[in-house]
Amino acid sequence: MAAIETVGLSKRYGNTLAVDGLSLTVAESTVFGFLGPNGAGKSTTMRMLLGLIRPTAGHASIFGHDCRTLAARQAGLVGAMVEEPALYTYLPARTNLELLCRLSGRGKDQIEWALEKVGLTDTGDKPYGAFSHGMKQRLGIAAALLPKPKLLILDEPASGLDPAGLIEVRDLVRGLAAEGIAVVLSSHLLNEVQQICTHVGLMFKGKLVAEGPVDELLSAEHTDLSIEADAPARVVEVLKAEGIVVEAVIDATVIAKATREQAPAINAALVAAGVKVYAMVPHMPTLEDLYLRHARLRTHS
Ligand SMILES: Nc1ncnc2c1ncn2[C@@H]1O[C@H](COP(=O)(O)OP(=O)(O)O)[C@@H](O)[C@H]1O
Ligand SMILES: [Mg+2]
């Protein structure tokens, strides 16, 4: 059964269609990243999934439970960090988690497990207020893990983190995924998402404009090959003879419309033509390329 299924999910605020007909399936054991600029509708989507706000139209379910009911949350199937966690700054991390367990009527047996998962076992007795931003994020994730959920929803878990904090959260999410917990997160950090997520959904103005496994989405993106050689004019001639399109010539570098796989044959042809090749660098597509292409499509339409 899918961790998340939405059909035509929409949310309107006055004249703003914050989420516009979102149809999406997130399979179990995937790490799904919502990408998009500020105001794209990522947080609104997550709030609807968690039953915190009601959809204007459409339907969403978590492990088959309608999101308008709180059944999935009550059954402990889903944990979430959608806002700054509301924790007491003067109380130790552990005590904060104990309070959360008491408030939700849950036993305390997951506390040590959750602290261990986020790497805070040894710092659990420090007051929350003395935590670094990265530690606070991790404690927020520990709080979300208390029901031992099969799905974790994290809104901007990487926001405001320094490089060390980013690595901590990245390792943590990967570790949870390795245990079979599906993770849905939002971010505007494209590189971060590319490193953590197996699947992404790209949102612009409430609409899902691209969605799928990261490698599949990227394999459809444009690749090119930069060739640095002693005689760029000769490189252009050889490439034309090989039927390869030249995109640009910048100083001694020729940019060809070709893939990494074509590089050895191109190199052989250049060497046979007496060209000295100093470097051949394939440009592998990134989520940034995908994002920028969609962003451009939207500004020109
Ligand atoms: N409670 C609200 N009342 C009115 N407008 C809202 C509310 N929440 C979000 N919006 C609007 O909905 C759109 C999507 O917002 P949001 O889901 O927060 O985007 P994101 O998380 O992708 O940055 C924005 O235009 C935002 O201003
Ligand atoms: Mg948001």
Please identify every residue whose CB atom is under 5 Å from ligand 2, which is an ion. 42-43
Q: Which of 180, 204, 219 is the last residue of a domain?
A: 219
Do 209 and 245 sit in the same domain of this protein?
A: no
**How far apart, in whole angstroms, are the C-alpha atoms of residue 287 and residue 127?**
38
**How far apart, in whole angstroms, are the C-alpha atoms of residue 161 and residue 226?**
34
Whether residue 117 lies inside any domain: the answer is no
Do 157 and 269 sit in the same domain of this protein?
A: no
**How far apart, in whole angstroms, are the C-alpha atoms of residue 247 and residue 254?**
8
Q: Is 235 helix (H, G, I), strand (E, B) or coil?
A: helix
Residue linked to tokens 């806002």: 83
**CB distance 174 to 157 below 8 Å:** no
Do 210 and 253 sit in the same domain of this protein?
A: no
Determine the pLDDT at residue 156: 93
Beta-strand ranges (E) seen in the chain are: 4-13, 16-26, 31-35, 57-62, 65-66, 78-81, 151-155, 182-187, 199-204, 207-213, 224-229, 246-250, 253-256, 277-283
What domain range includes position 66? Answer: 4-77+149-219
Q: What is the DSSP letter of 118?
A: T
Determine the pLDDT at residue 296: 86
How many Å lie between the centroid of ligand 2 and the Cα of residue 42?
Answer: 5
Determine the pLDDT at residue 160: 82
Determine the pLDDT at residue 301: 57
What is the number of the ligand closest to the CA of 18?
1
Q: Which residues contact 82 (CB under 8 A, 6 or more apart)?
A: 43, 46, 47, 50, 52, 153, 154, 155
Determine the pLDDT at residue 300: 66
- The domain that holds 269 is classified in CATH as 3.30.70
**Which residue among 44, 47, 56, 205 is best mutated to probe the pocket of ligand 1, counting the most ligand atoms within 8 A of its Cβ?**
44
**How far apart, in whole angstroms, are the C-alpha atoms of residue 174 and residue 280?**
33
Phi, psi angle pair for 54, to nearest 5°: -95, 140
The model's pTM: 0.87
Report which protein residue has its CA nearest ligand 1's atom 27. Answer: 39
Tokens found for residue 237: 């001639």
Q: Which of 219, 234, 264 is the last residue of a domain?
A: 219
Count of domains observed in the chain = 2
- Which residues of the chain register pLDDT less than 70? 300-301
Do 272 and 244 sit in the same domain of this protein?
A: yes
- The domain that holds 213 is classified in CATH as 3.40.50.300
Write down the mean pLDDT value for the chain: 92
Determine the pLDDT at residue 220: 78
Do 178 and 191 sit in the same domain of this protein?
A: yes
How many Å lie between the centroid of ligand 2 and the Cα of residue 200?
Answer: 16
